[in-house]
């Protein structure tokens, strides 16, 4: 059995009606022959989109087969007992050249009942935003299901939603049930549960290249929406350099920001989990067990649970999302 090591996977490119070219211009990823690229799936256990290792002794192996072979050595004992060979997180980069549809995702209970799937709790980290870029997260006032339906029927749903200006390094946690959309001009990293279930509520009456409007899921969304109003939807976190910042701490995943301009050591011996590094800025060396791996902006790396201690080293500032399950 090959000794496990930090794994990089072949990027899965997704052509979207709203996609642009920042995946190439900002992240240096070649999505040809696609005309544009709306999102990339960097680490995926979604059926039909299972990630494949791109380098090293395990090159060509897919993530599901690796979990089947290495079990808790790869993902952690508790996680293997809970999820089996299903990898529980999905890592993406999203480039919104145009607005995404207004949508909502079901929670675990509803997704299991309707789709035999996990629910979809997710977080966004804004890598780059054009001037004036906005997104939608939640409602801008108290709402009932009846009030929502009334506004929807009168084609005034956008008046109920919280439109928020965004800037690079902003963070949003989008729990299942929260209406949302990513607005045009935004490039972000997304960490989410392994699910591809989306209820599209409104798509700005857009038509695809064949003149067809995309399917909506208006009725399905009604039972999935969280109708509560919250005073703040953006995550507030400490932003100094050379300090670990906790962005999300949820039952589904924990995500921290590592932003350093000097070497730092990470000790995961207290964790019973894999760790995912999603690189947002800079280039660095990941040093582990007398080996090293070069990673740079746009890379996502899966650190197996059996690798407990690493050193991150660079001559310039680097910014990483560190994600795991507690």
Looking up tokens 């050591």, which residue turns up? 265
Surface-to-core class of residue 79, CB atoms within 10 Å of its CB (0-12 exposed, 13-18 middle, 19+ buried): buried
Which own/partner contact pairs does 77-80 have at CB distance under 8 Å and 24+ positions apart? 77/272, 77/305, 78/272, 78/273, 79/272, 79/273, 79/274, 79/305, 79/325
CA–CA gap between residue 61 and residue 20 (Å, rounded):
30
Dihedral, CA of residue 50, residue 310, residue 191 and residue 272, to nearest 10: 80
In this structure, how many other beta carbons lie within 10 angstroms of the beta carbon of residue 77? 13
State how far the Cα of 293 lies from the Cα of 290, in Å rounded to an integer. Answer: 11
State the catalytic residues: 200
- The Cα–Cα gap between 74 and 93 comes to 24
Beta-sheet strands, E only, within 114-272: 122-129, 134-139, 161-165, 171-174, 180-182, 186-193, 199-202, 243-249, 254-260, 264-267
Whether 293 contacts 285, CB under 8 Å = yes
């Amino acid at each position: 059995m090959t000794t496990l090591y930090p794994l990089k996977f072949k990027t899965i490119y997704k052509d979207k009606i709203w996609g642009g070219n920042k995946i190439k211009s900002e992240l240096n990823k070649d999505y040809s022959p696609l005309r544009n690229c709306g999102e990339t799936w960097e680490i995926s256990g979604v059926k039909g989109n299972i990630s494949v290792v791109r380098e090293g002794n395990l090159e060509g192996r897919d993530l599901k087969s690796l979990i089947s072979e290495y079990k808790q050595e790869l993902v952690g004992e508790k996680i293997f007992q809970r999820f089996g060979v299903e990898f529980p997180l999905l890592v993406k980069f999203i480039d919104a050249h145009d607005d995404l549809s207004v949508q909502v995702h079901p929670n675990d209970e509803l997704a299991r009942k309707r789709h035999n799937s996990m629910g979809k709790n997710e977080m966004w980290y804004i890598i780059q935003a054009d001037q004036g870029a906005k997104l939608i997260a939640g409602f801008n006032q108290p709402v009932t299901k009846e009030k929502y339906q009334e506004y929807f029927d009168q084609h005034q749903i956008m008046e109920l939603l919280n439109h928020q200006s965004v800037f690079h390094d902003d963070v949003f946690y989008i729990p299942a049930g929260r209406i949302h959309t990513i607005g045009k001009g935004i490039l972000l990293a997304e960490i989410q549960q392994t699910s591809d279930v989306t209820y599209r509520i409104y798509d700005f009456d857009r038509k695809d290249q064949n003149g067809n409007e995309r399917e909506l899921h208006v009725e399905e969304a009604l039972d999935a929406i969280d109708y509560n109003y919250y005073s703040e939807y953006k995550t507030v976190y400490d932003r100094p350099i050379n300090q670990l910042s906790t962005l999300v701490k949820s039952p589904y995943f924990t995500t921290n920001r590592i932003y350093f301009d000097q070497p730092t050591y990470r000790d995961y011996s207290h964790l019973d989990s894999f760790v995912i590094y999603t690189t947002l800025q800079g280039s660095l060396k990941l040093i582990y067990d007398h080996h090293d791996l070069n990673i740079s902006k746009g890379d996502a790396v899966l650190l197996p649970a059996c690798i407990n201690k690493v050193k991150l080293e660079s001559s310039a500032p680097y910014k990483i999302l560190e994600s795991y399950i507690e």
